[in-house]
Amino acid sequence: WVTTDGIVLREEFHDGFKSVLETEPVATDLGEEVFPVSSFIKWSLIRPEHEIVRPRNLERIKLTISGMSSSDLIPKDHRQNVLMTKKITKDAYASTIMIESELPSFEKTAHFPVPIKDLDRDRLLGPSPEVQVNHPEILNLSSLLAEGQTDSWRLARIINRWVYDNMEKSLVDTVTAVDALRERRGECQSHTYLFTALARAAGIPTKIVNGLVYSEDYGSFVYHAWPEVFVGQWRALDPTLGQDRVDATHIKLTENEREDPFKLMKFIGQIGIEIIE
């Protein structure tokens, strides 16, 4: 809905999202209710029937994700395999998937030297609004961490450890990698943006993954973000949890910061998880 002089009054997007033109006082008035990040986490928890013991050490898990609006929402990759998808109601699907942690045998394989230049540079090595690869502060730190390093996987682990050790784990949302570097605190998205910027600046192709991970604190799956690097093979790390080998409770739902930003909303508040084995 647009006026004759080009002012947008209302927009409607897929999946039911809408935006309307409002005055600033109306748009910024949240009333007396405050919705902190912790409340969003509790609202979006996915609690399976059975608790997962020592999730950070889990090597393999088989589970079913139900309540999806489409049959092809769950991606496949080197860790995650969709075994079966079926229609359970008129408008809902369920997928059974097998997920594994990263294999330790990878440590013994050959890794590419840095910088890696044989993949799509713009998509996997270039900047985005959230990941300012070419910012001087990012370039300076990346260069410092990469000094003397030639093995891409070793450098990825060095960056992963630096982000884990130097970022306070806090429910504070930071918008970009530079924000995270300056504030030195944040949640999983902040850790992932910073890692991605530092790794790309060092010449390591890196993707941003959004999905779920099992939380011992909540006894539930929570929405989470982590990076994947290409070092001869794709490899998932978690700078928030300090994992060079992500555990098997990491369920990938979307990847890349430029992917459909509304895709994750197809899962939040809609799905359930049943652990099979």
The CATH code of the domain that includes 206 is: 3.10.620.30
For 86, the enclosing helix (H) or strand (E) is strand 80-89
Q: What angle do CA 259, 37, 187 make, to 5 degrees?
A: 60
Give the pLDDT score at 260. 59
- DSSP SS3 for 201: helix
Give the pLDDT score at 25. 76
Residue 227 lies in a domain: yes
Residue 123 lies in a domain: yes
Residue 13 lies in a domain: no
115, two tokens:
């910088």
| Contact indicator for 234, 226 with CB cutoff of 8 Å | no
Q: How many angstroms separate the CA atoms of 74 and 265, rounded? A: 13
Give the pLDDT score at 121. 58
How buried is residue 246: exposed, middle or buried, by Cβ count under 10 Å (0-12/13-18/19+)?
buried
Q: For residue 231, what are the CA distances in angstroms to 105, 125, 146, 225, 236?
A: 14, 13, 14, 20, 11
Give the pLDDT score at 41. 61
Residue 197 lies in a domain: yes
Residue 179 lies in a domain: yes
Q: How many angstroms separate the CA atoms of 248 and 61, rounded? A: 6
Residue 155 lies in a domain: yes
Residue 129 lies in a domain: yes
Q: What is the DSSP letter of 114?
A: S
Task: Tell me the CB-side half-sphere exposure of residue 118, using CA atoms within 13 A.
Answer: 7
Residue 3 lies in a domain: no
The values of phi and psi at residue 245, to 5°, are: -120, 105
Query: Residue 229: which domain range?
Result: 109-259
Question: Concatenated DSSP letters for 209-225?
Answer: EEEEEEETTTTEEEEEE
Give the pLDDT score at 35. 46
Sign of CA dihedral 85, 88, 91, 97: negative
pTM of the model: 0.84
Domain count, the chain: 1
Give the pLDDT score at 29. 60
pLDDT in tens, the chain (277 residues): 778 777 877 776 544 456 777 887 776 565 554 445 555 566 678 899 989 999 999 999 999 999 998 888 999 999 999 999 999 988 899 999 999 998 776 666 667 888 887 666 567 899 999 999 999 999 999 999 999 999 999 999 999 999 999 999 988 877 899 999 999 999 999 999 999 999 999 999 999 999 999 999 999 999 999 999 999 889 999 999 999 999 999 999 998 756 556 777 788 888 999 999 9
Bridge partners (DSSP) of residue 252 are: 211
